[in-house]
Copies of this chain bind each other. A is one copy, B any other.
Amino acid sequence: MSKTVQRLETKESIDERTQQVLRGIIEGYITSNEPVGSRSLSKSLEMGLSPATIRNIMSDLSDMGFLMQLHTSAGRIPTDKAYRFYVDQVVVANQLTRKLQKRIQEATQEGGTNQVEDLLISTTRLLAGLTQFVCLTSSPRVETSILRRIEFIRLSSQQILVVLVTRNGQVRNKIIAATEDLSQDFLNTVSSFLNDQFHNRNLHEIRQQILESMVEDKERYDRLLAQAVRLGKKAFEVEDAPELYIEGQHNLIFSERFRNLNSSRGLMDAFEHKSMIMNLLDSTVEADGIQIFIGIENELESLQDCTMVKAQYSDQSNVLGTIGVIGPTNMDYQTVIPVVDFTARILSQTITQQSSSCD
A residues at B contact (CB < 8 Å): 112-115, 148-149, 151, 153, 155-159, 161, 163, 165, 169, 171, 173-175, 188, 239, 249-250, 253-254, 265, 268, 357-359
Contact = CB atoms under 8 A, between A and B. Distances in A.
A119 to B, nearest CB: 12
A156 B254 contact: no
Nearest to A192: B184
Contacts of A151: 151, 153, 163
Nearest to A156: B359
24 contacts: A112-B239, A113-B239, A114-B175, A115-B173, A149-B153, A149-B155, A149-B161, A151-B151, A151-B153, A151-B163, A153-B165, A155-B165, A156-B357, A156-B359, A157-B359, A158-B357, A163-B173, A171-B175, A173-B173, A188-B188, A249-B250, A250-B268, A254-B265, A254-B268
Given A239-B113, A250-B268, A265-B254, A161 B171 contact: yes
A358 B239 CA distance: 25
A292 to B, nearest CB: 27
A265 B278 CA distance: 28
Nearest to A172: B173
Contacts of A163: 151, 153, 161, 163, 173
B173 A171 contact: yes
Given A161-B171, A175-B115, A148 B155 contact: yes
**Chain A to chain B: the 5 pairs with minimum beta-carbon distance, closest first:** A171-B173, A156-B359, A156-B358, A250-B268, A151-B153
Contacts of A155: 148-149, 165, 358
